[in-house]
Amino acid sequence: MRIDVITLFPDFIAQCVAFGVTGRAGERQLLSLHGWNPRDYAEGNYRRVDERPFGGGPGMVMLIDPLRAAIAAARAADPAPARIVYLTPQGAPLTQAKVRELATRERVILLCGRYEGVDERLIEAEVDEEVSIGDYVLSGGELAAAVVIDAVARLQEGALSDAESAAQDSFEGGLLDCPHYTRPVEHELGRVPDVLMSGNHAEIARWRRREALGRTWQRRPDLLDEPALSKADHQLLNEYRARFAEVGDDFDG
Ligand code: 6GU
């Protein structure tokens, strides 16, 4: 996959994804990342990329032409057609489903705004979709772009080892992830649930499913489509609820 990022801070994006799984995806050439700075396409001695908004008000708006030239340069660098995604708090919320969809594309161009935003005419002419990473305000799209790149990189075939397999991640089954434990079994902070050391794989899978369902019910009821759950899942969730009613969430068996 190829990702081009239109940003005033290309070095920041490169640094953000230079480590861990995303760094490795780059080294393995599963993902190629290219930054394009609109300032390099701006005119005049001052290389202006922003101006005051018509109608007045605070902040600055990014100019059409430097952005358009940077997008054109990015497009021209590779013949594959690119989807243009603008990172903005006005966008559709980023979900794992959206990440999966973007991850299947051959090419994506991420457009990062700074200041109050980007001239709306540039968005209308060039942008295919607008994406937000949550209901809070960042001072620019760069961190959001790094979030998209990370989430998409780890889904590229070969990016994760078996041990890191994405299949069991939170959200991949529409549920939050179950809790995890490692050595030592006994610690002053508590004991690892016995079932995880039983060697009984069916029981372990059942425990993990119950914890994932229970956590999702407790923490993110908005994600839980109860009517759509299987009979077995209903039973697991009811077990969790019964236990919760009895001992709260510090039960570990
Ligand atoms: Cl994509 N950009 C900015 N500037 N702020 C955000 C955001 C994006 N998503 C949430 N807040």
**Mean pLDDT over residues 210-223, rounded?**
97
Predicted confidence at residue 2, as pLDDT, reads 98
Residue 162 catalytic? no
CA of 156 to the centre of ligand 1 (A): 24
Q: What is the CA angle 152-8-61, rounded to 5? A: 110
Confidence of residue 165 (pLDDT cuts 50, 70, 90): confident
CA of 110 to the centre of ligand 1 (A): 13
Q: Which residues sit opposite 112 in a β-bridge?
A: 87
* C-beta of residue 95 within 8 angstroms of C-beta of residue 220: no
Atom of ligand 1 nearest to the CA of 131: 1
Distance CA 109, CA 100 (A): 16
Q: Is the dihedral of CA 206, 208, 210, 213 positive or negative?
A: negative
Q: Which two tokens stand for residue 214?
A: 């229970």
Confidence of residue 249 (pLDDT cuts 50, 70, 90): low
Q: Which two tokens stand for residue 248?
A: 């709260």
Distance CA 180, CA 188 (A): 17
Q: Which two tokens stand for residue 172?
A: 């991949």
Domain spanning 168-250: CATH superfamily = tRNA(m1g37)methyltransferase, domain 2 (1.10.1270.20)
* Order of strands, sheet of 50-51, starting from the edge strand that comes earlier in the sequence: 50-51, 61-62, 117-118
Compute the mean pLDDT over every residue in the chain, rounded to the nearest whole number: 95
**Mean pLDDT over residues 11-29, rounded?**
95
**Mean pLDDT over residues 196-203, rounded?**
98
Distance CA 186, CA 235 (A): 30
Q: Each residue of 65-100: pLDDT tens digit?
A: 999 999 999 999 999 999 999 999 999 999 999 999
Indicate the fold that domain 2-153 takes in CATH.
Alpha/beta knot (3.40.1280)
Q: Each residue of 37-59: pLDDT tens digit?
A: 999 999 999 999 999 999 999 99
pTM of the model: 0.93
**Mean pLDDT over residues 195-217, rounded?**
98
Tell me the domain boundaries of the chain.
2-153, 168-250
Predicted confidence at residue 76, as pLDDT, reads 98
Predicted confidence at residue 105, as pLDDT, reads 98
Atom of ligand 1 nearest to the CA of 139: 4
Of 53, 89, 179, 193, the active-site residue reads 89
CA of 143 to the centre of ligand 1 (A): 8
pLDDT at 244 > cutoff 80: yes
Predicted confidence at residue 9, as pLDDT, reads 97
- The length of the chain is 253
pLDDT at 132 > cutoff 70: yes
Confidence of residue 250 (pLDDT cuts 50, 70, 90): low
DSSP letters for the chain: -EEEEE-S-HHHHHHHTSSHHHHHHHHTTS-EEEEE-GGGG--TTTT--EEPPTT--SS-EE-HHHHHHHHHHHHHT-SS--EEEEEEEEEEEP-HHHHHHHHT-SEEEEEE-BTTEE-HHHHHHH-SEEEESSSS--SBSHHHHHHHHHHHHTTSTTSS-GGG-GGGSTTTTSSPPPP---S-SEETTEE--GGGGS--HHHHHHHHHHHHHHHHHHH-GGG--GGGS-HHHHHHHHHHHHHHHHHGGG---
Q: In the structure, which protein residues have their CB atom closer than 6 angstroms to any atom of ligand 1?
A: 87-89, 91, 132-134, 136-138, 140-141, 144
Say which amino acid occupies 72. Answer: A
